[in-house]
Homo-oligomer: A and B are copies of this chain.
Amino acid sequence: MFCAVTLRTAALSKSFRSAFLAQSTTAHIRSCSARVPRRTRALERTCAMSTGRRVCKVPKGTRDFLPEQMAIRQRVFALVTSVFERHGAVTIETPVFELKETLLGQYGEESKLIYDIADQGGELLSLRYDLTVPFARFLATHGIVSLKRYQLGRVYRRDQPAIARGRFREFYQCDFDIAGQHPPMVPDAEVLRVLIEVLDEFAALSPYHRQRLGSYQVKLSHRGLLDAILQLCGVPKELLRPICSSIDKLDKEPWDVVRKEMIDVKGLTAPCADRIGQFVTRAGKPRELLRELQADHSLCCGKFGAEEALADLERLFSYLEAMGNVLERCTLNLALARGLDYYTGLIFEAVLTDGSTPLGSIGAGGRYDRLVEDFAGKPVPCVGTSIGIERIFSLMEEAERELAQATGRVIRASKTQVLVVGIGKVDLVQRLKLCDELWRAHLAAECLYAERPKMARQLQYALERGIPVLAILGEDELAAGVVGLKRLSTQEQIQMQRGPPLVQAIRDWLASESNQEAGQESVDRDGNCRPEPVASVRDPTATTPGAN
């Protein structure tokens, strides 16, 4: 149905052409990509001046998100969701607050950070602190014993905010969990694969993304192994958890400091602490360290349960190798302990690294087999991961802004595809009629609301927002039943008959625009936006080592 019509510029008014030439696209883009910080400064000024009026600030530790930021956040959420769904996960939703008693005693010392709802009569309520306890409550409430679910939602912590370090009182968690009785370590392996797949997809978006998100490491350990080691070292049973929480500090403190805490605060003997030190400073390639530990007869003496934990890890490694050798991204790290008490098996943490230096966690999780039992009375074993989505969002925002600057593109907040532009005496009603035709064809179209806006203003509107196509109506076009089309990226200009030819021509241009943006994202068969294959590792046809 594509109907080629010769290029005709005569119908475009003089003012349009001169306005177009006068505009510097790049300058516009620059000013747009700098808009967010400028608005933030405007906020400070506005608020400072607003004495005598209502205060107009957000609560401490919370944020508004501006349109440009939301466009990036939605892209982050869409990518994470597409990976979760690729693994067959379904989603659920739970209320933003739970009964106070649902959360009570679930978070140890951190319970003091829970927001309570004021007692205005009726039930005592608290804002959710994470998505894991509500998930356990959800399974129990509905009597569900098997579920692979993901959930994106905001959680609340009355913590001291540290905006620069990305610590907020309201933030998103993105969780993927597998609940149910399954053969050992299979769901655990898929959870790890999902975490790694998410991180790899972000890194594959562009070189700017790769630079920020491409270098990471997944540290693995096992609570059963840690307990066995501690018992072998002579830690009494009642000190297992306290010593675990000391070990958990090893990612921030050197061994000497942790050792001192074990002896001075937790009451271990120095030889006992030193025996622990010989283990927990060990980290390395999973298969190698596993073999060493399996060969350690004092550890694997049948007394501490180390054999089961090591057998678990061996199974896990086989599955990880089968799933495209994601084991290569992992290290076995005996210093990993994880703060939360509820973990019962595998524990892991994904850490961004700058080559060698760790730069902070961007994902973590583990197996928690007894949390649901607390509500349901019967055990529903679970394993899951939480993606460090706010951290990823900050890095994505940086990368997207750099990418936009490098490519001279605008970070688009709106999805408008066509700006309907009037020239000469064409009035608003005529432009609205054309918009209506485009909306009916499911094209995203806008026009300026003024009766007869200046050409320069219309063009500026399109450039600032990165709207790719102008549909231009002059008196001649109206009389002839045609529309002038201009594609801003290539400066191509054609004229099309209104109706199907017009719609088809716009669709063709839009399709070729999105092909040109390839490497950024593409549309999958099932309609989800998916990052485009970038490297050969993403080639569906490439057989990776050990894949077949």
Given A117-B117, A377-B53, CB of A500 within 8 Å of CB of B446: no
| Interface hit among A80-88, A298-306, A337-345 | A80-88
Chain B's closest residue to A182 (CB) is B449
Cβ-neighbour of A59 out of B70, B123, B417, B514 (below 8 A): B123
CA distance A123 to B161 in the complex (A): 14
A285 within 8 A of B: no
Which residues of B are found within 8 Å of A439, using beta-carbon distances? 86-87, 197, 324
Stretch at the interface among A2-10, A38-46, A225-233: A38-46
Q: How far is the CB of A542 from chain B (nearest CB, A)?
A: 8
A435 proximity list for chain B (CB < 8 A): 323
A417 partner residues in chain B, CB cutoff 8 A: 526
Given A319-B432, A429-B318, check contact A507 B525 (CB 8 Å): yes
Return chain B residues, CB-CB under 8 Å to A547.
Answer: 433, 436-437
For residue A489, CB closer than 8 A to chain B, the reply is no
Cβ contact within 8 Å between A540 and B46: no
Count the A residues whose beta carbon is within 8 Å of the partner chain — how many?
A: 134
Inter-subunit contact B85/A444 (CB<8 Å): yes
Residues A59 and B449 in contact in the complex (CB < 8 Å), given A64-B141, A436-B322: no
Instruction: Please indicate the chain B residues that have their CB under 8 angstroms from the CB of A523 in the complex.
Output: 523, 525-527
Q: Which of B43, B116, B450 interacts with A117 by CB under 8 Å?
A: B116
Within 8 A of B (CB), among A28-69: 39-40, 42-43, 45-47, 49-50, 53-60, 62-67
Interface presence of A125 (CB below 8 A)? yes
With A88-B446, A183-B451, A187-B449 known as contacts, the answer to whether A142 contacts B66 (CB < 8 A) is yes
Q: Which residues of B contact A154 (CB under 8 A)?
A: 96
Residue from the list B54, B86, B116, B444 in contact with A86, Cβ < 8 A? B444
- Residue-wise, chain A 115-136 has the 8 Å CB interface mask toward B (1 for contact) of 1111110110101000000000
Q: Does A92 contact B (CB under 8 A)?
A: yes
Q: How far is A79 from B287 in the complex, measured between Cα atoms in Å? A: 49
Contacts of A49 in B (CB 8 A): 377
| A538 interface residue per 8 A CB criterion | yes
A 357-385 contacts with B by CB, 8 A = 374-377
State whether the Cβ of A440 lies closer than 8 Å to any Cβ in chain B. yes
Q: A187-B449, A428-B183, A540-B441 are in contact. Are A415 and B526 (CB under 8 A)?
A: yes
Hey, what's the 0/1 contact readout for A486-512 against B, CB within 8 Å counting as 1? 000000000000111001000100110
**CA A46 to CA B376, docked complex, whole Å:** 8
Cross-interface CB contact of A98 among B59, B102, B149, cutoff 8 Å:
B59
Q: Which residues of B contact A59 (CB under 8 A)?
A: 95, 97-99, 123, 125
Are B93 and A149 in touch, CB under 8 angstroms?
A: no
A60 to B123 CA separation, bound complex (whole angstroms): 8
Pick from B64, B99, B322, B498: contact of A142, CB below 8 A.
B64
Q: What separation, in Å, do the CA atoms of A322 and B524 have in the docked complex?
A: 36
Complex-state Cα separation, A523 to B98, whole angstroms: 38
Complex CA–CA separation, A510 to B524 (angstroms) = 11
> Are A86 and B445 in touch, CB under 8 angstroms?
yes
**In this assembly, does A307 line the interface, its C-beta being within 8 Å of a C-beta of chain B?**
no
Answer whether residue A543 sits at the interface, using C-beta atoms and an 8 A cutoff.
yes
Whether B446 contacts A141 by the Cβ 8 Å rule is: no
Pairwise interchain contact A92-B120, C-beta atoms closer than 8 A: no
B residues less than 8 Å from A67 (CB atoms) = 90-92, 147, 149
The residue in chain B whose Cβ has the minimal distance to the Cβ of A324 is B436
Contacts A91-B70, A510-B525; is A481 near B120 (CB within 8 Å)? no
Chain B residues whose C-beta falls within 8 Å of the C-beta of A43 in the assembled complex: 141-143
Given the complex of chains A and B, what is the CA–CA distance between A547 and B444 in angstroms? 17
> Is A270 close to B, CB under 8 A?
no
Q: State whether the Cβ of A174 lies closer than 8 Å to any Cβ in chain B.
A: no
Q: Which residues of B contact A514 (CB under 8 A)?
A: 525-526
Binding site for B on A (CB under 8 A): 39-40, 42-43, 45-47, 49-50, 53-60, 62-67, 70-71, 73-74, 82, 85-99, 101-102, 115-120, 122-123, 125, 127, 137-138, 140-144, 147-149, 154, 158, 170, 182-183, 186-187, 189, 197, 318-319, 322-324, 374-377, 413-417, 428-429, 432-433, 435-437, 439-446, 449-451, 481, 498-500, 503, 507, 510-511, 514, 523-530, 537-544, 546-548
Please name 24 pairs of A and B residues whose Cβ atoms are closer than 8 Å in the assembled complex, sorted by A: A46-B140, A57-B99, A64-B93, A64-B138, A65-B94, A67-B91, A67-B92, A74-B91, A85-B415, A90-B413, A95-B170, A96-B154, A97-B170, A116-B117, A117-B127, A118-B119, A183-B449, A183-B451, A186-B428, A322-B436, A323-B433, A415-B526, A433-B547, A498-B548
Closest 9 CB pairs of A and B: A441-B540, A523-B527, A67-B90, A62-B95, A116-B118, A88-B446, A42-B143, A56-B140, A65-B93
